[in-house]
Amino acid sequence: MRLFFSSFFALLILACNAPKPDTATKPEQTAPVTESPTVPAVTTGPMLPSISQEFMQMLWENTSYIDYTFYTLPMSMSFDNQPAIQNVLAHLEATPVAIPSTCKPTGRAFFQKDGEDLGVAEFYLHTDCRCFVFLKDGKPAHSNRIKDKGLEFYQNSIRQAVQQTQQNAQ
């Protein structure tokens, strides 16, 4: 079942977001440099700095697999192709976030290459707190806000997975 969901999401992302091939020589892709909005994020918890551009670039160039585990949903999802992985990373802003104490993480994301973790982050997919909190030595170290489009992407993916699970149960 997990393989089915993983395959479904990978195909969905590729179909919607894969760049169109062109015959001209493509310039080397780089990680997106995101801009911070002028409206600050909620600041009721400790403010964690954003991940560095170098770390983002390293994830952009080297991640070959992202695995998501959800704390309260009976599902997981993963991506194992570079266009889908880069699409996921492009959903992050450079805006650091302070997580309200009332906000609980939705799950954990593992950014991997050849089975080794390049980065681990807890992710929050709530309207009032939506971000990735990257961990260092198991503790929150950096945070990046998820763009509106990214939150919509995750919510739609979860909704589709739940509907598919319900249809399969019938």
Q: State both tokens at 150.
A: 């990214």
Assess contact for 140 and 112: CB atoms under 8 A.
no
In the block, residue with structure tokens 């983002």? 56
DSSP 111: E
pLDDT in tens, 76-87: 889 999 999 999
For 3, residues 6+ apart whose C-beta sits below 8 A from its C-beta are: none
Read off the pLDDT of each residue in 4-31 and give the average, rounded to a whole number: 39
CA distance 99 to 96: 10
Q: State both tokens at 123.
A: 């992710």
Residue spans per domain, the chain: 2-6+40-159
**Mean pLDDT score across all residues of the chain:** 79
Q: State both tokens at 58.
A: 């390293």
